[in-house]
Amino acid sequence: MKAVFVKGNSAVSVDDINAPQMTSDGDVLVKMRACGLCGSDLEKVYGEYGMSSGRLGHEPAGEVVAAGRNAKGFAPGDRVFIHHHVPCYSCHYCLHGDYTMCTEYQRSNITPCGLAEQFIVPEWNVSRGGLIKLPQGMTFDEASLVEPLACCIRAWNKCNFQKGDDIAVLGAGPAGLMHVLLARAFGTGKVFVSDINDFRLKFAERYGVQAFNSITAKDFIQKIKEQTGGRGVDIAMVATGSTKALLQSFDMTRKAGKIMLFGVPPKGSDMSYDMSKLYSSEHSLIPSYAASEVETNQAIRLIAERRLDLASLITHRFDIKDAADAIKCAHDAKDAMKVVVTTGP
C-alpha cells in the first residue's frame, strides 16, 4: 500500500509499504477515503514545526476494514472520522478541560499516518472517542474537514464572544475561511479578512467579507477601525503563523479585545512588543492548539445540520499516488484553497 512521508527539507515521498497490522483486540483498521492537507502538514515539510509529531495527514475519513473484538460498535464497512490525538480524560489537565495539553494527547496517534491507504486506529483512540461514525449523508470530503473545523470551534469557544461582535481574520487560507463561516453562523457583526494572497482574498469575498491585501493596502488597519466606530474589532483571529500579522492584530483590536493565536508559528519564532501597551489596553492574547472530541462532535453536528457550506472550500483533489503534487499545490496556493488527498474505492 502507499503512504506519504517527509523526506528531508521541502521533500516528501510516496512509498510502497506493508499494510499495518492490528496488535490489540481493541484496534481498528481503516481505509482512508479522503484526507485534507493542513498548514501544520506544510510546516512539517517546508518549515520548522514545533510539536513532537512529524507524521503527515491528521484530517482523515474512511471506511472500517477490520475491527478487533473489543472495538465494540464498529464493523467492516462503517464510514468513520478519525481523530489522531486523543487525551486520557482523567489527568490534571483533562480535569481542567485542557485536553490538548494532556501528556497522552501527543503520544497517541494513528499508524503509519493519515496520508496512507490504510492505517491502524489504536485501542487507546477507539476506547476514548477518537473514532466516530459519520452521520448518514455526510460525504468523505465533508468528513475530511471535521478536524480543522473542530480546531476552529475550540478557538471560538475560548474567545467568549458575543453576538454582533466585529471580527478580523488574519490569514485567508482554509482555516481562516472556516473562521469566517463560523462567524457568519454565530451571528457576528462586521467581518474583515487580510492576507497577502490575492486569489485567496477574492475567494474570501464570496462569503460577504471585506478583504484587504496586507502588503498593498497600507491603510487597511485604519479602515477597519473607521468601520468599527474607531474602536477596532472585538476579536482578531490570527489564522497564520506570521508574527507580522500577529503584531498587526494588536493595532486593529479594541481595548480589552481578544487576539486569538490560531495559526502555527514556526519553531523559534519571536517578536518584540511594548508590554506596557498590552497592559494598558487589556488585550487578551489567547493561543489555541488543536481540538478534542468535545469540539469534534460539535463540528460533526454543524456539518450534518448543513449550517456551514464547508465543501465549497475544496478546490483540488489528488489521488494518494500524486500526494507530492498535492502538497506542493497547497503550499504554493496560487489557485488553491483546501486540498484533499483521496484513495479509490
The average confidence (pLDDT) of the chain is: 95
Claim to verify: residue 262 and residue 319 sit in the same structural domain? no
Q: Among 53-57, 97-101, 224-228, 242-246, whose mean pLDDT is lowest? A: 53-57
pLDDT, mean of residues 14-40: 96
pLDDT of residue 50: 52
pLDDT in tens, 326-340: 999 999 999 999 999
Mean pLDDT value across residues 170-177: 98
Shared-domain flag, residues 196 and 98: no
Q: Cβ-count burial of 289 within 10 angstroms (0-12 exposed, 13-18 middle, 19+ buried)?
A: middle
What is the mean predicted confidence (pLDDT) over 242-251? Answer: 97
Summarised one tens digit per residue, pLDDT across range 293-327 is 999 999 999 999 999 999 999 999 999 999 999 99
Which class for 312: exposed (0-12), middle (13-18), buried (19 or more C-beta within 10 A)? middle
Question: Is the residue at 304 inside a domain?
Answer: no
pLDDT (mean) for 217-223: 95
- For residues 268 and 345, the model is more confident at 268
Residue 53 clears pLDDT 70, i.e. is over it? no
> Are 211 and 263 members of one domain?
yes
pLDDT category of residue 345 using cuts at 50, 70 and 90: confident
- pLDDT, average across residues 183-195: 97
Per-residue pLDDT at 235 exceeds 70 = yes
The candidate with the shortest Cα–Cα distance to 71, out of 1, 147, 122, 137, is 122
Q: What share of the chain is helix, strand, coil (3-state, %, to 5)?
A: 35, 25, 40
Mean pLDDT of 287-295: 95
The structural domain count of the chain equals 2
With 80 as the cut, is the pLDDT of residue 58 above it? yes
**What's the pLDDT tens digit per position in 71-95?**
999 999 999 999 999 999 999 999 9
- My answer on whether 327 and 276 are in the same domain is no
Looking only at the bridges linking them, the beta strands covering 338-342 and 28-36 are antiparallel
Q: What tens digit of pLDDT does each residue of 131-169 get?
A: 999 999 999 999 999 999 999 999 999 999 999 999 999
Domain with residue 205: its CATH number is 3.40.50.720
* 219 shares its domain with 258: yes
Domain that holds residue 195: 152-287
> Order of strands, edge to edge, in the sheet holding 191-195?
210-213, 191-195, 167-170, 233-238, 253-261, 284-287
pTM for this model (two decimals):
0.95
pLDDT of amino acid 252: 98
Residues 167 and 82 both lie in one domain: no
- Do 265 and 332 lie in one domain? The reply is no
Q: State which amino acid sits at residue 215.
A: I
